[in-house]
């Protein structure tokens, strides 16, 4: 962590001309204001004011003044900005009210609040997100979904034309402080994944946001379009953001217990119990778009049923095979359109509720749940994830724990924006309907 003096010195040494002060709106979209380096002293001292009423899900007009306070630990040069030794840098900011208090409706703040609760219970949350994305040809006014290559899972060039782009993205991420574990072609044509190492939840929520705009920027510079839309191509796999989670107590992984059959602790099981109990409400946050629900269908390794298991990739919660320090749960429903701060916050709130109440998740279901009949699922007590945004919002409305975790401000705005999206979509006459009905009726 830098002091203000150190920060100013670094800015000078690195010849930083502009600083981008960044934060996310309620949908996880990065907002930023650029200031010349000469304004940095002022920004550090008193923050930078902005109009909160222009940011989705923030303030009402009558109380719109808000202040950005840069988190100095997030300082990073933008690798593509260097020109004639002059640099641009970014800082991620917290949002405050003019009276100095934190703005409780800012997504980063929502995650802080849950991490504080975890800390009071003695835990630190670690998160390892896996992001998938598509690379498309540009053209067609920018909305074409022509994949950029013909590769498949783990394929090697020359079919995987995107190897070069992936390498460029990886390079830029490494320059910005990422530790990359792997990068590979995914199942669908044009689909890729780059994994970075797990870390503290705030740091990795920041990294998810950074990951997305670095990927988009590098792709654009190579004449391609990167998208984190959950299901861009009908009939192909969608883009998920599996969230790997563990709780640490000091240096120990509190999810590990060599004495039990699965080698996971009761605490881990209770965390799973909490996730299962709140899974439907979490969906409204982890799968926030109309399009999100076109990914949550059977046949593509995306979860549909609320189950947990050992290695089974058809379940909502998987326990990957790593043990010891890498003992973790993998929560598989979130997609790449979610706001990572809010998503990690509600996952943690659900898990902590499970721990507090000792919620038993029942036995793991080590079957391919896609292949079970409705009757078999019923006899096993297996519930289904919401199948559309409206259902998910209804579940959120009825879930006190998840609502409280979001806080009134964020909750109200998630509901409002979600319902707007749902109504807009329902009013529209889609091409699918024309194809299907126009001749028959
Ligand atoms: P998959 O087999 O599901 O494709 P990946 O290897 O792509 O898994 O990703 C695994 C993720 O889990 C990585 O981000 C990794 O850093 C993370 N991870 C490893 N150990 C832990 C842990 N203890 N807590 C949280 N995440 C972890
Ligand atoms: Mg993976
Ligand atoms: Mg991987
Ligand atoms: Mg994957
Ligand atoms: Mg995974």
Nearest to 68 by CA among 42, 49, 45: 49
Kindly state the percentage of the chain with pLDDT values over 90.
73
Q: In the structure, what pLDDT confidence band is assigned to residue 329 with cuts at 50, 70 and 90? A: very high
**Cβ(292) to ligand 1 under 6 A?**
no
* Domains of the chain listed by start with CATH number: 4-103 (3.10.20.70), 112-427 (3.30.590.10)
Residue 157 has pLDDT above 60, yes or no: no
Helix (H, G, I), strand (E, B) or coil at 92: strand
ipTM score of complex: 0.97
In whole angstroms, what is the distance from residue 394 CA to residue 364 CA? 27
**Cβ(126) to ligand 1 under 6 A?**
yes
Q: 312 CA to middle of ligand 5, Å? A: 11
**Cβ(130) to ligand 1 under 6 A?**
yes
Residue 326 near residue 255, CB atoms below 8 Å: no
**Cβ(269) to ligand 1 under 6 A?**
no
Residue minimizing CA distance to atom 2 of ligand 1: 320
Note the pLDDT of residue 85: 82
Note the pLDDT of residue 141: 59
Mean pLDDT of 88-113: 95
Helix (H, G, I), strand (E, B) or coil at 101: coil
In whole angstroms, what is the distance from residue 170 CA to residue 277 CA? 37
The upper half-sphere exposure of residue 234, i.e. CA atoms within 13 Å in the direction of its Cβ, equals 1
The upper half-sphere exposure of residue 39, i.e. CA atoms within 13 Å in the direction of its Cβ, equals 15
In whole angstroms, what is the distance from residue 236 CA to residue 162 CA? 18
Mean pLDDT of 248-266: 95
On the question of a cis peptide bond just before residue 66, with omega within 30 degrees of 0, the verdict is no
Q: Which of 130, 163, 206, 353 is catalytic?
A: 130
Q: 28 CA to middle of ligand 5, Å? A: 21
Query: Active site includes 130?
Result: yes
Mean pLDDT of 426-434: 96
Q: In the structure, what pLDDT confidence band is assigned to residue 76 with cuts at 50, 70 and 90? A: very high
Residue 124 near residue 131, CB atoms below 8 Å: no
Note the pLDDT of residue 223: 87
Q: Pick out the residues of the known binding site for ATP.
A: 181, 196-198, 313
Residue 255 near residue 246, CB atoms below 8 Å: yes
In whole angstroms, what is the distance from residue 58 CA to residue 141 CA? 31
To test the ligand 1 pocket, which listed residue (154, 185, 197, 198) has its Cβ within 8 A of the most ligand atoms? 198
Q: Which ligand 1 atom sits closest to the C-alpha of 327?
A: 23
101-115, 148-162, 323-337, range with the lowest pLDDT: 148-162
Q: Report the Cα 213 to chain-centroid distance in Å.
A: 13
Q: 436 CA to middle of ligand 4, Å? A: 33
**Cβ(181) to ligand 1 under 6 A?**
yes
Query: Active site includes 412?
Result: no
Nearest to 146 by CA among 189, 92, 207, 205: 189
Query: Active site includes 71?
Result: no
Sign of torsion over alpha carbons 325, 331, 334, 336:
positive
Q: Which ligand 1 atom sits closest to the C-alpha of 322?
A: 20
Instruction: State the Cα angle at 240 between 31 and 263, rounded to 5°.
Output: 120
Note the pLDDT of residue 143: 63
Model-level pTM?
0.95
Kindly state the percentage of the chain with pLDDT values over 70.
95
| Structure-token pair, residue 330 | 């993998």
Residue 354 has pLDDT above 60, yes or no: yes
Q: To which H or E segment does residue 166 belong?
A: helix 163-175
| Structure-token pair, residue 228 | 């984190």
């Amino acid at each position: 962590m830098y002091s203000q003096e150190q920060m100013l010195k670094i800015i000078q040494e690195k010849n930083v001309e502009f600083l981008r002060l960044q934060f996310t709106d309620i949908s996880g979209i990065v907002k930023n204001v650029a200031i010349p380096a000469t304004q940095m002293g002022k920004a550090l001292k008193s923050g930078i004011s902005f109009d909160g009423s222009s940011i989705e899900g923030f303030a009402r007009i009558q109380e719109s003044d808000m202040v950005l306070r840069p988190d100095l630990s997030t300082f990073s040069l933008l690798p593509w900005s260097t020109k004639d030794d002059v640099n641009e840098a970014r800082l991620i900011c917290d949002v405050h009210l003019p009276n100095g208090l934190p703005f409780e409706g800012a997504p980063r703040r929502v995650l802080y609040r849950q991490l504080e609760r975890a800390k009071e219970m003695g835990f630190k949350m670690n998160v390892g997100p896996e992001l998938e994305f598509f690379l498309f040809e540009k053209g067609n006014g920018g909305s074409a979904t022509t994949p950029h290559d013909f590769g498949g899972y783990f394929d090697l060039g020359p079919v995987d034309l995107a190897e070069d782009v992936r390498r460029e993205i990886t390079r830029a991420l490494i320059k910005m402080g990422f530790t990359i574990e792997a990068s590979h072609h995914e199942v669908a044509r044009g689909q890729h994944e780059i994994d970075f190492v797990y870390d503290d939840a705030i740091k990795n929520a920041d990294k998810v946001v950074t990951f997305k705009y670095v990927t988009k920027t590098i792709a654009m510079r190579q004449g391609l379009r990167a998208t984190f839309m959950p299901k861009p191509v009908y009939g192909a796999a969608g883009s998920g953001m599996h969230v790997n989670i563990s709780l640490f107590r000091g240096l120990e992984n509190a999810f590990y217990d060599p004495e039990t059959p699965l080698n996971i602790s009761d605490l881990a099981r209770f965390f799973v119990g909490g996730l299962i109990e709140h899974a439907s409400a979490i969906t409204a946050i982890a799968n926030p778009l109309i399009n999100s629900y076109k990914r949550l269908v059977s046949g593509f390794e995306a979860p549909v049923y609320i189950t947990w298991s050992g290695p089974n990739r058809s379940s909502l919660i998987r326990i990957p095979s790593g043990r010891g320090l890498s003992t973790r749960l993998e929560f598989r429903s979130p997609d790449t359109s979610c706001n990572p701060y809010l998503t990690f916050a509600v996952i943690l709130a659900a898990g902590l509720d499970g721990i507090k109440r000792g919620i038993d998740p029942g036995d793991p279901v080590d079957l391919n749940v896609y292949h079970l009949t409705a009757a078999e699922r019923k006899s096993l007590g297996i519930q289904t994830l919401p199948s559309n945004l409206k259902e998910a919002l209804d579940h959120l409305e009825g879930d006190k724990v998840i609502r409280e975790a979001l806080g009134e401000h964020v909750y109200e705005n998630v509901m409002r924006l979600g319902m707007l999206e749902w109504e807009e979509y329902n009013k529209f006459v889609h091409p699918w309907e024309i194809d299907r009905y126009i001749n028959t009726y």
